[in-house]
Structure 1
Amino acid sequence: MSDSINRWGGSATKAEVAPMIVVRRPLFPGVIFLALGVFGLVIGIPGIVFQLTAGSDDSPAFGILFGLGAVFLLFGLALAAGRINVYDRHYDVKSGFGKFRRREVDDIHTLRFGKQSNGGGPTFISLTAWNEQRKKQFMVFTNYRGYRQFTAWLDKRRPEQWAECERLGVSD
């Protein structure tokens, strides 16, 4: 069977279905939470089993370690799951464990940079898009993988909004 014909009679190829750009969080924060979660589960589960079978003290330490491990693991998986898949004239946004939501590039009405800081710590620069009804379309940070390619794509598809965003710069 040819690559260009599918079972339903269409002619979409796998290359046409694949996103041009994928925008994702950096690996580091998600990996830390995943590692802490796996560590908590690997120590907590055998500890709970040992406590139950040996009839030793009723210390809640292993239960707390198991609970924290599960929470950290879920948080790390949610961080790793969020992404923006960019195609020619639209993009799909996914936050956490949610489903992909299709957004049209022509719906972007406003693009703005933002600054997020906790005082003395690091400062993060974000790019946020809204539609005409002021509904947020996406928010990405400058350290995301694929950010530069995504902003170049936005510059080509929405030049007026991108020029206005760059003119205003980062808000204080």
Structure 2
Amino acid sequence: IGKYKLKYLNDQVSQTSAADFEKTVMVRAAAAPAPSFDDKAGDTGHFRTIQINQNAGSAQATYQKALSTGPLPIPLPAIKMAAIQILNGPNAGKELDLLKNLTTLGKPGVQVAVLTRRPNGFFITHVEGAVFPFVNGHILGAQPCQLNDHDVIELAGVKMEFYFKG
């Protein structure tokens, strides 16, 4: 790795014989004929029978596949783009677009939180620090908290507003 070379040395010498190794035998199967498809004119599209004719004297394998007739799953709504705007401190007025799935906020060693983008919205979670962040004046617990439009986050003495764009 890099400029280093790794060398493996086995200090324990072991005596192995050919009997200690696994004996593997390669067996080649005879080529089977291609499967025949039974498509009938009256086929409703719900079932299709495939018959595979194997060597003489062996049984026929029949496979029936039902096509899905159930409802399709409902797709989740697309997540809106979001951002946070710093409300106080030396960076007041600056905006940070939340483009990634994970965005960390705060100062390591003091107070850190993470904003996560999930299929059902944005969540804030406490990561590091003795004091938990505040969301709308309420202290955040150890569990993730879903963020709503115009929520105010207070982290390490800095207030930020979370909002959806567009």
Place the TM-score, normalised by the shorter chain, in its bin. under 0.3
Bigger radius of gyration among the two: 2
TM-score by length of structure 2 reads 0.23
How does the TM-score come out when normalised to structure 1?
Answer: 0.22
Greater percentage in strand: 2
Structure 1 or 2: more helix by fraction: 1
Larger relative contact order (C-alpha < 8 A, sep ≥ 6)?
1
